[in-house]
Amino acid sequence: MRVLATHELARELAIAFAVMVMFRAAGMATAAERSDGQTVTEDIRNDWRYLVETLRLTDSRAYLPDHGKPVIELWGFGLGNRPGTPESVGALIADLKTGTHGLAAVTVIGGVPTRWRTLDGDAKPDRAWTSVYRSYDVISPWAVGRFSDEVGADQFVREVVQPDLIETRRLGLRYLPVVFPGFSRSNLMRNRNRADQVILNKIPRNCGRFLWRQISDLLQLHVDALYVAMFDEADEGTAIFPAEPRADKLPAGAKMVYLNEDGCALPDDWYLLHQRRGGKIPARRDRPPSQLDAVVQP
């Protein structure tokens, strides 16, 4: 796997504007190992040392810096049945932030549960996680699938994001909200024999308007950075990379979402155009338009 990683990193560094490492706390430990949570945090320690000391990844000019330190994200700790204990994860975060126990110092983004403040819903109820979440440099709560239309996006911002911002600003932490274009994992569920979950176009993109509503709502709150999930995650239908717009151009017999699914007439790179135009708004400090047509048109 590390040989493959070397080739992949070389390719990414050659073409990227910026790269950073995300450690995803899923599939990194067996069920037996999850009981004490030690294996997953030790794996991250060892892998970060390897990336920094052997591959010298952070020496690249393409690696994302923050106040003179590289940036990494720890995603999924405290979420549902993910591995890791509050004690081991808290110690890992502390060592990463301070550069102790042989680790290079970094800015740590926490990819946390949606309900990280209230410890309900998708978050583990153990109150020991409270201090762990608040030890990150940046809080980035997961939002994919938490609402399914523009009205739901508005409600999510009112009920979840605004209280999050009050808390993070009180603590002096930065906040990185997650937005997503839509959701469809029918093929993934079909391959897993989960017939009850085979729902094509479960959360419609609405020609980009669903994503834009989320972005517009957040920019009105003066959020200065967004995490767009995801660039290339096709198995859950959240990818924003160029894709086929037309049904008649799909492979014969294929059942998948195409860009014009919701009655649009879009170019294949529509979501990259969408993000390019939208990304200029925070820098100009404009009040974001509420309608996508005012930002970009096919």
Query: What does the pLDDT profile of the chain (298 residues) look like in tens digits?
Result: 344 455 566 565 565 578 899 999 875 544 444 444 568 999 999 999 999 999 999 998 889 999 999 999 999 999 988 899 999 999 999 999 999 999 999 999 999 999 999 999 999 999 999 999 999 999 999 999 999 999 999 999 999 999 999 999 999 999 999 999 999 998 888 889 998 998 999 999 999 999 999 999 999 999 989 999 999 999 899 999 999 999 999 999 888 899 999 999 999 999 999 998 888 776 566 678 888 988 888 8
Of 267, 266, 287, 264, the residue nearest 215 (C-alpha): 287
- pLDDT score recorded for residue 85: 93
- pLDDT score recorded for residue 95: 97
Confidence (pTM): 0.91
Domain coordinates in residue numbering, the chain:
1-142, 178-298
- pLDDT score recorded for residue 34: 47
- pLDDT score recorded for residue 32: 46
Contact 200, 210 (CB under 8 A): no
- pLDDT score recorded for residue 27: 55
Of 108, 12, 109, the residue nearest 62 (C-alpha): 12
- pLDDT score recorded for residue 31: 47
- pLDDT score recorded for residue 117: 98
- pLDDT score recorded for residue 1: 39
Distances (CA, A) of 218 to 33, 116, 146, 265: 39, 19, 15, 27
Contact 78, 115 (CB under 8 A): no
